[in-house]
């Protein structure tokens, strides 16, 4: 299992719509995450800063193209957050400094 975390940023005034979109996440997005081995995925907000945390069975293969479903989600979310020119979210990786598990 791998743990991955990154930061993103909302555009001002879009906190509520960002939350609503995730409250109403497309069922096919959830199915795709399960299919990709995602065990847990959380997004936390502090002001306009977003902190995303994911645990998955294995690291994503960098050679695998982004799915059309993901591109559609990103394009739909682009008005609400900082994105690259192709609508992918600007993601700033964060380094894990400590982990404790009692399983």
What CA–CA distance (Å, rounded) separates 64 from 66? 7
What phi and psi values does residue 84 have, to the nearest 5 degrees?
Answer: -80, 170
Residue written as tokens 């994105």?
83
| Active-site annotation holder among 22, 39, 45, 92 | 22
Residue written as tokens 């598990």?
101
What phi and psi values does residue 75 have, to the nearest 5 degrees?
Answer: -65, -40
Active site residue 102: no
Residues with a known catalytic role: 22
């Amino acid at each position: 299992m791998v743990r991955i975390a990154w930061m993103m940023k909302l555009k001002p005034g879009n906190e509520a719509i960002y939350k609503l979109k995730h409250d109403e996440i497309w069922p096919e997005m959830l199915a795709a995450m399960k299919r990709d081995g995602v065990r847990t995925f959380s997004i936390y907000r502090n002001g306009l800063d977003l902190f995303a945390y994911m645990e998955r069975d294995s690291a994503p293969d960098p050679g695998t193209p982004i799915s059309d479903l993901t591109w559609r989600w990103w394009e739909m979310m682009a008005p609400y957050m900082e994105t690259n020119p192709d609508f992918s979210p600007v993601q700033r990786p964060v380094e894990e400094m400590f982990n404790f598990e009692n399983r």
